[in-house]
Amino acid sequence: MEENYIKHQYAPILPEKDEWPVVKLARERKEFVKKVATLSEGRILDLIGKNPEILKEELETTLYREKLRIKQNPWDVDPDDEGPFWGEVKNNLLQIHSEVSGTKAKKLEAYQAVLRKITARYSEEIASNFKASHYKFTRRVVTYGFSRLLNAARVKGFGSLFSNQFTLQDKIQITGQTAQLRELATKGTVVMVPTHFSNLDSVLIGWIISVLGMPPFIYGAGLNLFNISIFAYFMNALGAYKVDRRKKNMMYLETLKTYSKEAIQFGCHSLFFPGGTRSRSGIIESKLKLGLLSTAIEAQRANFENGITDVSGKIFIVPVTINYHFVLEAPGLIQDYLSQTGQERYYKENDEFSTSYKISKFLFKFFTKGSDISVSIGRAMDVMGNYVDQDGKSLDKWGRIVNTQEYFMSNGKVTVDAQREEEYTQMLGKRIVEEFHKINRVFSSHLVAFVAFELIQSKNAKMDLFDLIRLPQEDLLLNYEEFKAACQRVLNQIFELKSQGKIDSAPHLNRSMDEIITHGLDNVGMYHAKRPIIKDKSGNLTTEDMSLLYFYHNRLHGYGLEKLF
Amino acid sequence: MALKNSSKSQPIGVIGVGSFGTAIANMLAEKNEVMVYARKQEVVEEINTQHSASGKILNSKIRATFSPEELCNSCGVLFFMIPSAAFLEVTRTFAPFLHPYHLVIHGTKGLAVQLGEGEQWDTLKKLRRNQILTMSEVIVKETLAVRVGCLAGPNISTELSDGQPAATVIASKYNEVIQEGQRLLRSEKFQVYGNSDIIGVELSGVLKNIIAIAAGALAGLGLGENAKGLLISRGIVEMAHLSKALGGTASSVMGLAGIGDLVTTCNSPDSRNFTVGFRLAKGESLSQIMASMEEVAEGVNTIRIVDAFLKTAGIRAPITENLHRVLFEDLSIEEALQFLMKYPFSVDVDFV
């Protein structure tokens, strides 16, 4: 019954690397950074209505926050000249305050000069340092290194280290609309929006993109990752630009958005993790960070405004889910989540710290043992959430062709309306969440974790989550037969949902229920010191870590399956 | 697919020439060209030749068509002024011709139920929120239009036609829809407010019909102003809770589309909902009343939908529940009133 996953060899879609928009962008980096700075400046001026008093206030706020950040939260990656730079900004502001008098226009001009300096600095900071040669090298290292590990573990005998029998694609299955994605990437600009559960996602997605033969995507990576120099090398090689989450001031955010928008307009395929950070609870993102998403809509509108109405100016949103049996940092994530939601009711018991030793140990285990990963590529949509066909044409629910430009028109012209686009961003966010749920692939491990947690909860109906987590282990025993029956109920419902196109499932779920359960138990959180579910000697089930069980259970949240208990 | 007409000569589209539709079309015609849609050819001809629709006088600048395609191609802004019973059908008729650039404002107070395959509305006893659609949700679901708004408030058509001072609310998530509606409708005698909570405003207009039936019943029982004051204030509380449960905000209920419309409707004995309540109190049954009314009073339908929704929402709405029992389960009006007087409302206002 089990369908076989077919490995594909994807030829590069744009063979010459000089043709990649991301390479072009790197070549024109200097001019691009300058352009971003100037546009950001204009954008901020528009936002404050060119009022010198408000601009002054914004500048002072930014200055205050930046000084505070430098003092209270310095990072290795911060440049040395930060202190002097902001000191100079301070002097400039004081000078304007005491010396420039008279007309509004004069004041505005003086403050604008300070603003210009700041946006120039920010855009330089954000811009990526992509180098095609580094990219190629990194790609080779990753692919080569991983497949050596894999073959060393699986192929017996002499020379296994040099065998090419297994490749990374055996571990990481790519399913879904790969052909469409490749096709559209040659026609327009792709914005990929994956779910985010693990720090490995960035590397994984980078690898997927190159396996699919596509040019590198640019994406915003947290500046904290650049603290570690080896990571910084990888990130730069993959075309990452830097997002500093400590900087919440308006000027920084506007510069960041301008950068993203301009890069998309430039034709660079982009990638956002729309959840913002990794999902702390293990739930598929349901509330998206809309900031960067809005830049896709803006870029689309700008293309229409500039008269690029053919497919080359079209932006395609491609949702992607990454499905794991195992999330390396799950213990830390769920603890974060519990301490945020439970506040003083939740006490951390131990602090598990992820070291590079742990990461390498995990990687070794990952390649030598079971536990596969699958990546589902969803159907591409236009920025309004309409599906698009192979040629990039948008289709409505009835299959009629929709002209996306018309969403941005009033009285026969493309118009700019920030409030309208805000609403559109919300709509797009909702559509992406819907698609995530549809393409989410259920694994055996998700099923067993979900059923185990729900059963325990239904046996202790009066307790809330925090009471449940503190239950002693002897209260957590589940009878195998009862568990099996419940698994079957949930699985039936999953198949029902699947037939309606509301969820996807991995092929191993077509095995017999006993096999599915064994597979699930073997895989769920398999490398954690404390396992979320284990079988005891008498064949019954129990958990060693209730909060981890909760984490893995959450993957099936949002389908109404809880009603079965 | 660019628009055929340039922006200045573009007429405003009005769909439906009932009393409210006619009143709005006339108001729009004061400043703009207007094109109305009517289904029947003889009505179209009457409008184009005699400038009247079923006897109601229309501004001579108003042209009529029975082609949805012509209307959609000529107009950028459309007003859907149709009874809720016909809403879905008319929306589907227009769907093939509506584009994402159209701004659509509707003036229909009603709810629609979304049924799955093989489900019958009559047999469903429970409804979840996602099975209930407001009229703007119907438009978004059935057509490509996204920039949608609604018109609600105390707008009795005859008073509008007489040119008496009045006001309305245009609600939309999109500022451009509100601004366009205000630009088109505002006049010395007509004030237009904006509200971004479209669901709350639509629900206010819908839920007030329930209270209007109750107001009619009180009048039918011969009760006075104290009772009416009591009903209106308890009615507002109930509307606020229901609106919140259905995805609106309580503050919209406080506005023109909520309190404003409620007070007007509870004081207009001519309204259909009021009449239903009045005749119920006089001892008639629902089927007797329905038999002698041309159109169904929207409140009756709303009570059924909201009562079914209450069963899944886990909240109580005593006025609605009791009216449901009166209408469909043979409880007498007197008993219902007794029940409400004994109901343990402990707090006066608990939603602001």
DSSP secondary structure of A29-76: HHHHHHHHHHHHHHHHHHHTTT-HHHHHHHHHHHHHHHHHHHHHS--T
* B1 contacts chain A (CB < 8 A): yes
* B176 contacts chain A (CB < 8 A): yes
Taking only the tens place, the pLDDT of each residue in B100-116 is 999 999 999 999 998 87
The answer to whether residues A166 and A367 touch, using CB atoms and an 8 Å cutoff, is no
Would you call B99 and A403 a contact, using CB atoms and an 8 Å cutoff? yes
Residue with tokens 């996807």: A504
Within 8 A of B146 by CB-CB distance, chain A residues are 384, 407, 424, 427
Would you call A420 and B176 a contact, using CB atoms and an 8 Å cutoff? yes
Given a cut of 60, whether residue B8 has pLDDT beyond it is: no
**Cα four-point dihedral sign A516, A522, A528, A534:** positive
> For the residues A292-308, what does the mean pLDDT come to?
94
Which amino acid, residue A40?
Answer: S
Substitution target in A300, A406, A427, A428 with the highest count of B β-carbons within 10 Å is A406
The three-state secondary structure class of A437 is helix
Chain-centroid distance, C-alpha B316: 23
DSSP A287: S
* A65 contacts chain B (CB < 8 A): no
Would you call A384 and B1 a contact, using CB atoms and an 8 Å cutoff? no
| Catalytic-role residue among B31, B208, B244, B311 | B208
Nearest to B144 among A402, A413, A423 (CB): A402
Residue B176 to chain A, least CA–CA distance (Å) = 8
Which amino acid, residue A288?
Answer: L
420-479 of A, contacting B, C-beta below 8 A:
420, 423-424, 427
226-245 of B, contacting A, C-beta below 8 A:
none
* A393 contacts chain B (CB < 8 A): no
Residue of B nearest to A404 (CA): B100
The answer to whether residues A282 and A553 touch, using CB atoms and an 8 Å cutoff, is yes
A323 φ, ψ to 5°? -110, 125
What pLDDT was estimated at residue A369?
59
* A396 contacts chain B (CB < 8 A): yes
What pLDDT was estimated at residue A169?
67
Closest CA to B239 of B257, B255, B253: B253
Would you call A410 and B176 a contact, using CB atoms and an 8 Å cutoff? yes
The three-state secondary structure class of A100 is coil
What pairs with residue A251 in β-bridges? none
Would you call B7 and A417 a contact, using CB atoms and an 8 Å cutoff? no
Token duo for residue B164: 């008496």
The three-state secondary structure class of A371 is coil
* B144 contacts chain A (CB < 8 A): yes
What pLDDT was estimated at residue A353?
40
Token duo for residue A462: 């009066």
What is the SS3 assignment for A468-512?
Answer: HHCCCHHHHCECHHHHHHHHHHHHHHHHHHHHCCCCEECHHHHCC
For residue A210, name the pLDDT band (cuts at 50, 70, 90): confident
How far CA A560 is from CA of A324, A494, A497, A554, A556, in Å, comes to 21, 10, 10, 12, 9
B327 φ, ψ to 5°? -70, -40
- Integer Cα distance of A200 and A361 in angstroms: 14
Substitution target in A401, A407, A430 with the highest count of B β-carbons within 10 Å is A407
Which amino acid, residue A325?
Answer: H
The answer to whether residues A352 and A328 touch, using CB atoms and an 8 Å cutoff, is no
| Mean predicted lDDT score pLDDT of chain A | 84
Residue with tokens 């936002």: A47
A65 φ, ψ to 5°? -65, -40
Substitution target in B144, B146, B196, B198 with the highest count of A β-carbons within 10 Å is B144
Taking only the tens place, the pLDDT of each residue in A429-485 is 999 999 999 999 999 999 999 999 999 998 888 888 888 888 887 778 889 999 999
Would you call B10 and A411 a contact, using CB atoms and an 8 Å cutoff? yes
- Integer Cα distance of B174 and B193 in angstroms: 14
Given a cut of 50, whether residue B272 has pLDDT beyond it is: yes
Substitution target in A411, A430, A502 with the highest count of B β-carbons within 10 Å is A411
Residue of A nearest to B11 (CA): A411
What is the SS3 assignment for chain B?
Answer: CCCCCCCCCCCEEEECCCHHHHHHHHHHHCCCCEEEECCCHHHHHHHHHHCEECCEECCCCEEEECCHHHHHHHCCEEEECCCHHHHHHHHHHHHHHCCCCCEEEECCCCEEECCCCCCCCCCCCCCCHHHEEEHHHHHHHHCCCCEEEEEECCCCHHHHHCCCCEEEEEEECCHHHHHHHHHHHCECCEEEEEECCHHHHHHHHHHHHHHHHHHHHHHHCCCCHHHHHHHHHHHHHHHHHHHHHCCCCHHHHCCHHHHHHHHHHHCCCCCHHHHHHHHHHCCCCHHHHHHCCCCCCHHHHHHHHHHHHHHHHCCCCHHHHHHHHHHHCCCCHHHHHHHHHHCCCCCCCCCC
* A499 contacts chain B (CB < 8 A): no
* B3 contacts chain A (CB < 8 A): yes
The answer to whether residues A328 and A362 touch, using CB atoms and an 8 Å cutoff, is yes
Residue of A nearest to B96 (CA): A400
> For the residues A408-436, what does the mean pLDDT come to?
94
* B146 contacts chain A (CB < 8 A): yes
For residue A165, name the pLDDT band (cuts at 50, 70, 90): low
Question: What angle separates helix A82-99 from helix A104-126, to the nearest 10 degrees?
Answer: 170
* B101 contacts chain A (CB < 8 A): yes
Token duo for residue A85: 């730079």
- Catalytic: B208? yes
Given a cut of 90, whether residue A5 has pLDDT beyond it is: no
Secondary structure element (H or E) that encloses residue A202, with its range? helix A200-211
* A419 contacts chain B (CB < 8 A): yes
CB contact set of A471 (below 8 Å; sequence gap of 6+): A456, A460, A463, A546
The fraction of chain A above a pLDDT of 70, given in percent, is 85
Within 8 A of A424 by CB-CB distance, chain B residues are 146
pLDDT, greater one: A516 or A201: A516
What pLDDT was estimated at residue B352?
62
Within 8 A of A409 by CB-CB distance, chain B residues are 100-101
Taking only the tens place, the pLDDT of each residue in A227-264 is 766 667 767 767 788 888 889 899 999 999 999 999 99
* A502 contacts chain B (CB < 8 A): no
Closest CA to A265 of A297, A243, A290: A297
- ipTM comes to 0.88
Residue A252 to chain B, least CA–CA distance (Å) = 27
Token duo for residue A111: 């403050």
What pLDDT was estimated at residue A361?
63
Would you call A423 and B100 a contact, using CB atoms and an 8 Å cutoff? no
Rounded to a whole number of angstroms, the CA Rg of chain A reads: 26
Would you call A417 and B175 a contact, using CB atoms and an 8 Å cutoff? yes
Token duo for residue A146: 């991983």
Residue A454 to chain B, least CA–CA distance (Å) = 22
> For the residues B107-135, what does the mean pLDDT come to?
85
For residue A2, name the pLDDT band (cuts at 50, 70, 90): very low
pLDDT, greater one: A164 or A383: A383
The three-state secondary structure class of A289 is coil
For residue A162, name the pLDDT band (cuts at 50, 70, 90): low
* A157 contacts chain B (CB < 8 A): no
The answer to whether residues A112 and A46 touch, using CB atoms and an 8 Å cutoff, is no
The answer to whether residues A530 and A473 touch, using CB atoms and an 8 Å cutoff, is no
Would you call B3 and A412 a contact, using CB atoms and an 8 Å cutoff? yes
Token duo for residue B30: 């004061």
Report angle CA B132, B135, B140 to the nearest 5 degrees.
95
Substitution target in B131, B143, B146, B177 with the highest count of A β-carbons within 10 Å is B146
pLDDT, greater one: B326 or A525: B326
> For the residues A39-49, what does the mean pLDDT come to?
93
Q: Whole-structure pTM over 0.95, yes or no?
A: no
Token duo for residue B314: 């886990």
